[in-house]
Amino acid sequence: MLKIIKRDDLSKRQILKVRITAIVLAIVFSGLFIAILGYNPFKVFYNMFLGAIGTKIRIEQTLTIAIPLVITSLGILVAFKMKFWNIGGEGQILMGGFAASYAALNFDFLPKPILLLTMGIFAIVGGGVWAFIPAFFKIRFGTNETIFTLMMNYIAIKWITYLQFGPWRDPNAMGFPKIPMFTSNAILPKLLGVHIGWIVALIMTALIYVFMNHTKKGYEIAVVGESIDTAKYAGMNIKVVVVFAMIVSGGLCGLAGMIQASGVERTLAVSLSGGYGFTAIITTWLSGLSAPLVLLTSFAFAIMIQGGNFIQTALQIPQSAADMIQGMILFFVLGSEFFIQYKVQINKRSQVAGDRNE
């Protein structure tokens, strides 16, 4: 009775209306949920907004959340543009952080600018190599990249856990399983109250925009994503394009790991990725695979995350309730993407036929 048909005729104005409707519905239903819990919805939403950008310190905290989201989303964007479903952002962040931490712990005698640059290069290589593995198996054996990249996240998590409890364990931590803290020359400096990762995020956004829209490789990635047959007909080497795109994708995620390790954690830990690899999948998809829009969606999500954390302490709202509020907002926003891409049509003929059969 119901038929799902792919849309191809929505104008930008209609798309905007769908998204605004989704946001309004998200606010309404989240408000009803908050009211059922016995809280004032207006007070909760106001405090979420206030908790994210109400003071200078809160803005800094929100930006600190947005930075890894932006860079990781840009990495995932490159893979998604090729329709290679890279769900391994978490693992690539961790392996980038691991490679950067190796440089920080072993080359701490280097001057700060050189050490930070070395850490960045190591991180890009670490994340890129981790992304290369599923790309290789995809082009060589036709494996499912979604499952492959997802499972590699857990391998990366266990590897970092092993280092924490094993060879990299800090002997001065009184038995606590932690990796030594970085020295001062391995820590990102701050600018305007936030570590300079925000400058890196802006630079990477501009570079990925130019790369995807004004370079040959970016064009090849887009063509492979649209049609492999067309890419082959045009003489493109599909395997090279897939491997190159995934190395770039993983390298950016790895860079996010270095920034988190150096600018936030100041060491290597399992908590380094913070779920950004999974959240970035959503922000990338909502951006429409547009680098400039990645900035907006990532900042919006950072506001929601920081605001959700704030209301837990300010209003004594349980964490589970705060997570449900965020989940409901995500549900409606992501649901709007379905109605932008598809429309549901009622098959009246089937209804009539069904009535006659009865």
In a domain, 65, yes or no: yes
* Confidence (pLDDT) at 205: 96
| Alpha carbons 148 and 145: distance in angstroms, whole number | 5
DSSP letter string, 157-208 = HHHHHHHHHTTT--TTSTT---PPPPPGGGSPPEETTEETHHHHHHHHHHHH
DSSP letter string, 213-281 = HHSHHHHHHHHHHH-HHHHHHTT--HHHHHHHHHHHHHHHHHHHHHHIIIIIISS--GGGSTTHHHHHH
Instruction: List, for residues 82-92, the tens digit of each pLDDT value.
Output: 999 999 999 99
Cα-only R_g, the chain: 23
Beta partners for residue 76, in sequence order: none
In a domain, 318, yes or no: no
* Confidence (pLDDT) at 311: 87
In a domain, 178, yes or no: yes
For the chain, 358 residues long, give each residue's pLDDT as a single digit of tens. 677 777 777 777 887 788 788 888 888 888 898 898 888 888 888 998 899 998 899 999 999 999 999 999 999 999 999 999 999 999 999 999 999 999 999 998 999 999 999 999 999 999 999 999 999 999 999 999 999 999 999 999 999 999 999 899 988 888 788 999 999 999 999 998 999 999 999 999 999 999 999 999 999 999 999 888 898 888 899 999 999 999 999 999 999 999 999 999 999 999 898 889 998 988 898 888 899 999 999 998 899 889 888 888 888 888 787 778 778 877 887 787 778 777 777 776 555 455 455 5
In a domain, 317, yes or no: no
Q: What are phi and psi of 347, to 5 degrees?
A: -85, 95
Pairing mode of beta strands 2-6, 342-346: antiparallel
- Which domain, by its residues, includes 251? 56-291
In a domain, 300, yes or no: no
* Confidence (pLDDT) at 17: 83
| Alpha carbons 147 and 138: distance in angstroms, whole number | 11
| Count of domains for the chain | 1
* Confidence (pLDDT) at 171: 87
In a domain, 175, yes or no: yes
User: Taking a C-beta distance cutoff of 8 angstroms, is the pair 292, 168 a contact?
Assistant: no
In a domain, 35, yes or no: no
* Confidence (pLDDT) at 330: 77
Dihedral sign of CA atoms 209, 215, 221, 223 in order? positive
Tokens of 144: 């499912």
Q: pTM for this structure?
A: 0.89
* Confidence (pLDDT) at 352: 45
DSSP letter string, 109-149 = TS-HHHHHHHHHHHHHHHHHHHHHHHHHHHHHH---HHHHH
In a domain, 272, yes or no: yes
* Confidence (pLDDT) at 76: 95
* Confidence (pLDDT) at 339: 80
